[in-house]
Amino acid sequence: MKIATGTLVMAMDGSKAHLFKNAGDTQKPLLEPISSHQAANPRSSEQGTDRPGRSFSSGSPRRSAMGETDLHDLAETDFVREASQLLDKTQQEHDRGVILLASPTVLGEFRKCCPERLRPSILAEIGKDVVNHAPDKIVSIIDAVDG
């Protein structure tokens, strides 16, 4: 897949997001960083120490255990929501197409919270976790995608 001049590229996972703009052309893309964001997601023991709850049925003496809330999952979901808002705002300012690279799980969360006005601007969603890769490596991964 070729990256047109001015196209926005976001590489993200559940706690980091890097937003780039192609300052080169389709023959020689050059991803120029626009912004980077990282979420603070401390260890579970620092986020909460309460035991899972118990439920009592009013009609019988039975009890049921409730699953513990995964605070890391909640923090990742919040981060993906914030990153989608940032991408929406940046796309509105630059009025360019968007290529999104993230793990399949993060892409699923992104689709749930993606603003409606951003959806038509998304040129490609690539299900790879490349947030720790260099921009040149990200370009080669995008180039390898058919489209």
Q: How far apart are the C-alpha atoms of 115 and 119, rounded to whole Å?
A: 7
Given the candidates 3.30.420.60, 3.30.70.1710, 3.40.50.150, 3.10.690.10, the CATH classification of the domain at 8-39+70-143 is 3.30.420.60
How far is the CA of 1 from the CAs of 27, 31, 98, in angstroms? 11, 15, 13
Could you tell me the pLDDT band of residue 61, with boundaries at 50, 70 and 90? Answer: low
How far is the CA of 103 from the CAs of 20, 116, 125, in angstroms? 18, 21, 10
Tokens of 90: 């940046």
The predicted-structure confidence for 117-137, as pLDDT tens digits, reads as follows 999 999 999 999 999 999 999
State the virtual CA torsion across 33, 39, 43, 46 in degrees, nearest 10.
150
Does residue 47 carry a pLDDT above 60? no
Please choose, from the candidates 41, 62, 63, the residue with its C-alpha nearest in 3D space to the C-alpha of residue 54: 63
Domain ranges for the chain, please list them.
8-39+70-143
The predicted-structure confidence for 75-109, as pLDDT tens digits, reads as follows 888 999 999 999 999 999 989 999 999 999 999 99
- What pTM, to 2 d.p., does this model score? 0.80
Please choose, from the candidates 65, 100, 59, the residue with its C-alpha nearest in 3D space to the C-alpha of residue 83: 100
User: What is the crossing angle of helices 104-113 and 71-94, to 10°?
Assistant: 60
pLDDT at residue 65, rounded to an integer? 61
Strand partners, 99: 9, 124
Does residue 59 carry a pLDDT above 70? no
Tokens of 116: 């409606």
Could you tell me the pLDDT band of residue 42, with boundaries at 50, 70 and 90? Answer: low
Tokens of 61: 């003496």
* Mean pLDDT for the chain overall: 86
